[in-house]
Structure 1
């Protein structure tokens, strides 16, 4: 059985720690998941269904938004994730401006 890791309990993705192939079983904490497609080492896999527009959470922070519905076991990468770098930068700039840093 292959393995994947989550860092934060709020993560809706896990990171595969070896190349994973379609229909392989993954052990992720106390959960078992079937890979729906090939997923390269270091890439993300959806832990649960992620609805279109929902944040992709990795390491406890949003890193993107789902461009489409992403089913459990699917590869989560640039083909189905919207980059939110600018949105995050604006959010943190406003946050730090409000607290005077």
Structure 2
């Protein structure tokens, strides 16, 4: 039997600007999971299997857009991401430590 944290959530959501929540357990494609935001307990249907500790999209993200977790930009979407998808290195690229952050100004230097 699965144990859920006291709030009844399956995923951790920290900031209202976040695009993702962090899985508090292994999740299976097709399963409806819950996370808690300012509006209360919310549900999302998982599109892919998502391992414990990985990210699930709670909002759609367009290709090229920044992706936020814990209120911070963690990368940029390299493809469009739909609600419920696994968010990881296959659909976002890290931008920390690159120096250019993908900016036109840096490319011109």
Instruction: Give the shorter-chain TM-score range.
Output: 0.7 to 0.9
- Residue 7 in 1 paired to residue 21 in 2? no
- Residue 18 in 1 paired to residue 9 in 2? no
What are the equivalent positions in structure 2 for 1:1-101 lying under 5 Å apart?
Answer: 3-29=10-36, 30-87=41-98
Gaps of 5+ in 1: 92-101
TM score, norm. by length of structure 1:
0.82
Shift of 1:90: 6.6
TM score, norm. by length of structure 2:
0.77
**Bigger helix fraction:** 1
The answer to whether the Cα contact below 8 Å between 1:14 and 1:47 also exists between their aligned partners in 2 is yes
Secondary structure in 2 matching 1:86: coil
Gaps of 5+ in 2: 1-7, 102-109
Q: CA RMSD in A?
A: 1.7
